[in-house]
Amino acid sequence: MLPRVGTVDDPLRLAVLISGGGSGLAALLTHQEVAARLHRTVLVVADGDAGGLEHGRGLGIPSKTISLPNVSDKVEQRLAHEALVLAELEAAEIECVVLSGYMRILTPSFVKRWKGRLVNIHPSLLPKYPGAHAHRDALADGAKVSGCTVHLVNEGVDSGYILAAEEVPVLDGDSEEDLQERVKKVEQILYPEVLDQLAAGAFSV
């Protein structure tokens, strides 16, 4: 559960984790800029040289790359990386972690630490097409409808409690990119709205 309900005077402190261009981050930042909200983004973290960091930097929000440390054992490397991320989250007094195109699967220990305060958006109607290739999988399956899902993160892959979902049509002849762009447009509206509700205490899970 969230530690508290956000207020306009003291909005919930969000960190947004990204891996790519950050169109979802940009939409969230605009949402937070245009009106008083119950949440605000105070930290952006990327796991590499993500273009989306510029959206945070442009608004003066600390926006950092935390690369995978140079550790040969993959398990140790993952844990060491998460420890670095966790240190940044704690230093920034983060209350809720928002995954927005963050393409790493988090370890059970990290998930446990943030349980109820760790949110993801996935570009399909879960439980259909979990994982890193949702659009490819939807097209290969001949789906006529796809969409996006906002969910709390649990120890599984895209299997946590669903907060909201919205359908998006799949059109004849769609490429992966066509479908991705159509879904992103819906994500950019849905995710900020769900975060408004979450920060207001609307979900009692």
Helix (H) or strand (E) run with residue 177 in it: helix 176-199
Q: Per rule CB under 6 A, is residue 160 in the interface with ligand GAR?
A: no
Phi (first) and psi of residue 29, to 5 degrees: -65, -40
Q: Which residues are catalytic?
A: 122
Q: Does 63 bind ligand GAR (CB under 6 A)?
A: no
Cβ atoms of 149 and 164 closer than 8 Å = yes
Nearer to ligand GAR, 4 or 166 (CB): 166
Q: Are 189 and 195 in contact, with CB atoms under 8 Å apart?
A: no
Q: Does 187 bind ligand GAR (CB under 6 A)?
A: yes
Residue 183 and residue 47: Cα distance in Å, rounded?
23
What single string gives the DSSP state of each residue in 86-114? HHHHHHTT-SEEEESS---PPPHHHHHHT
Which of 43, 100, 119, 138 is the binder for ligand GAR (CB under 6 A)? Answer: 100
> Is residue 30 classed as helix, strand or coil in its secondary structure?
helix
In the complex, least distance from residue 105 CB atom to ligand GAR, rounded to whole angstroms: 9
- Compute the least distance from the CB of residue 75 to ligand GAR, in Å: 21
Interacting span for ligand GAR (CB under 6 A) from 32-40, 73-81, 118-126, 164-172? 118-126
Binders in 24-53 for ligand GAR, by CB under 6 A: 24-25, 52
Which pair of tokens denotes residue 47? 């796991």
State the minimum distance, in angstroms, from the CB of residue 25 to ligand GAR: 6
19-27, 32-40, 139-147, 193-201 -> range binding ligand GAR (CB under 6 A): 19-27
20 binds ligand GAR, rule: CB under 6 A: yes
Instruction: List the strands of the sheet with 118-122, edge to edge.
Output: 63-65, 39-46, 12-18, 96-99, 118-122, 145-152, 162-169
126 to 145: interface string for ligand GAR, x by CB under 6 A: ------x-x-----------
Q: 198: closest CA among 109, 141, 121, 104? A: 121
Number of residues that bind ligand GAR (CB under 6 A): 18
**Complex with ligand GAR: residue 11 or 24, whichever CB lies closer:** 24
Torsion angle, alpha carbons of 149, 152, 157, 159, to 10 = -70
Chain residues binding ligand GAR by CB under 6 A are: 18, 20-25, 52, 100-101, 121-123, 132, 134, 183-184, 187
